[in-house]
Amino acid sequence: MREVAVIGVGMTKWGELWEKSLRTIFVESSLLALDDAGVDKIDSMYVGSMSSGIFVGQEHIASMLADYLGQAPVPSTRVETACASGGLALRLGFMEVASGMSDVVLVGGVEKMTDVNGHEATYALGTAADQEYEGYHGITFPGLYALIARAHMEKYRTTREQLAMVAVKNHRNGAKNPLAQFPFEVTVDAVLNSVMVADPLRILDCSPITDGAAALILCPVEMARKMKKPVVKITGTGHATDTIALNHRKDITWLEATFQAAKQAYAMANKKPEDIDFLEVHDCFTIAEICVIEALGLVEKGKGGKAYEDEITSLEGKIPVNTSGGLKSKGHPVGATGAAQVIEIVKQLRGEAGERQLKNPKVGLAQNMGGSGGSAVVHIFEKE
């Protein structure tokens, strides 16, 4: 199996992009990635997208995006596993390069979520939950994560203030990211007094509805060296699933799919949690980030909330989490999130993260999650 490098990244500013179409934002980000990589031709492409049919009425986007990018007739595949679609697209692209089937592969993600009203967007996102056992009874994704939050608070004495600290930290980081949808800081008081969405979660605990795309270019490490590109290697990858419905899990505060995917990635990369210098994780809600760092083995089970009180996940902390601002501040165009997480990892490892740049990071981890944790993808990256 060949070693695989990320040699190009591309992303434009996320937000409510009324004047642009789904194909436009994908092509813009992909052209930036191609330019960054110094290539103009690819062998194949994988595109993560969760619900383009509901959001913009367009299916069969694999063909359309290859065409508008000027890359047809290359093989192009759309990948869907809810909000982890972008992460799984990366895994498939990695496998294609590692196997030797292709040398240059474009991996991307895209979602255009603001072309529908709030009710329709809520419905689209809700399709990632169990429709018979959850959706039919009226629960939404904020409601599902509110159940997780309440259970975590009752079981581990996690506080409402600790949840708010996740949002405060991510907005502090996002304020340093010019591509973020909401690049401004918030306070604990602001989070605690924002509009209630699903008790105990308030609007500032929730990631936004976002239009956006992100793209990566992969190739064999040997090719990257010959091209004299900065080499960021994908040294570990893991993918796992769990029950889609919360009521079928033994413990709704534990993200088993994330734990299992991380176990695979750590083993493949020959790493342990303490070897990771920084992370981009799936903070669709503040409670999600707390549960994720526990499942990844960064803190003891049940101690996630305390980690934010102790500020170990800040830019200056022992293990910085979501230096980009995360889904909370950067935005969450669901199919594109997994690819955008990798862009932050690559920028940090290259030393190109601007104001939020960490001091000489060497190993990064990206965790992308679908639905309420029914699927998860974890990748580990190292600079050469």
Positions annotated as catalytic residues are 83, 332
Q: CA 234, 12, 176 angle in degrees (round to 5)?
A: 80
Which token pair is 321?
């989490």
- HEC string of 48-92 equals ECCCHHHHCCCCCHHHHHHHHCCCCCCCEEEECECECHHHHHHHH
Distance CA 236, CA 333 (A): 25
- Give 235-294 as a DSSP string: EEEEEEE--SSGGGSS-TT--HHHHHHHHHHHHHHT--GGG--EEE---SBHHHHHHHHH
Q: How many CB atoms lie within 10 A of CB 335?
A: 36
Partners of 38 in the β-ladder: none
Cβ contacts of residue 101 below 8 Å, gap of 6+?
44
Count of other CB atoms within 10 angstroms of residue 370: 27
